[in-house]
Chain A
Amino acid sequence: GAGVSQTPSNKVTEKGKYVELRCDPISGHTALYWYRQSLGQGPEFLIYFQGTGAADDSGLPNDRFFAVRPEGSVSTLKIQRTERGDSAVYLCASSPGPNLYEQYFGPGTRLTVT
């Protein structure tokens, strides 16, 4: 079946602009995760949804970052007033549920802030 998909695959934006990154999880997966990977680093956790609610948003770096999952499926990561330091690959993952199910990762969205 289809895996996790993310759109766009690449996004270039100017400093100060607003961006939205979309994640389509595997059908039926109730858990959804966002991570950020900077060059030469491992992925860094941002937020975890179980269903429609954010069960853990402890990784969001500041209030410019926000994520939603209104119907418990597709999720959107929103970044306001982008900064050059936000440039990274944003990864989405989904799993059938909590409690150590495997997380299935998407290909990522490469965000470049100029």
Chain B
Amino acid sequence: GNSVTQMEGPVTLSEEAFLTINCTYTATGYPSLFWYVQYPGEGLQLLLKATKADDKGSNKGFEATYRKETTSFHLEKGSVQVSDSAVYFCALTPSGSEKLVFGKGTKLTVNP
């Protein structure tokens, strides 16, 4: 079946630290991959996406590269800010489907 595994949280970093949140997936065919973010008190919103192997999604200083050989889509940011504190969800859409399959989420707290 289709599933997403992301690193357990919570993750606590100091401002300007480097961030990596690991995400691996299991899927048949060629899924599309996503990172969604939920800021405190707000709804889920798309952060970035990649639709085919070796694509890099990027937004707001965050990046993730679709690695088919390792079935991974790790989220990275070079220098986090306090405003990046949120819950981050890795997700996929299976080939031929419209639904999103989410990981459990990783809570990030950035301290000043």
Chain A residues packing against B (C-beta within 8 Å): 3-4, 31, 33, 35, 40-45, 48, 50, 55-56, 58-59, 91, 93, 98-100, 102-108
Q: Are B91 and A56 in contact (CB under 8 A)?
A: no
A41 touches B98 (CB 8 A): no
A61 CB → nearest B CB, Å: 14
Write the nearest CB–CB distance from A32 to chain B, whole angstroms. 10
| Cβ of B111 under 8 Å from chain A | no
Residues of B within 8 A of A (CB): 4, 32, 42-46, 49, 51, 89, 91, 93, 97-105
User: Which chain B residue shows the least CB distance to A50?
Assistant: B98
Asked if A41 and B104 make an inter-chain contact with CB atoms under 8 angstroms apart, the answer reads: yes
Residue of chain B at shortest CB distance from A107: B43
Q: How far is the CB of B92 from chain A (nearest CB, A)?
A: 11
The A interface is mostly helix, strand or loop, or mixed, namely loop
Q: Is the CB of B46 within 8 A of A31?
A: no
Q: Are B44 and A55 in contact (CB under 8 A)?
A: no
**Contact status B98-A31, CB under 8 Å:** yes
Q: Is the CB of B46 within 8 A of A103?
A: yes
Q: Which residue of B lies closest to A41 (CB)?
A: B104
Check B32 against A45 for contact (C-beta < 8 Å): no
Q: Given A43-B44, A91-B44, A106-B43, is A100 in contact with B101 using a C-beta cutoff of 8 Å? A: no
**Given A103-B46, A105-B43, A108-B43, A42 contacting B51 (CB threshold 8 A):** no
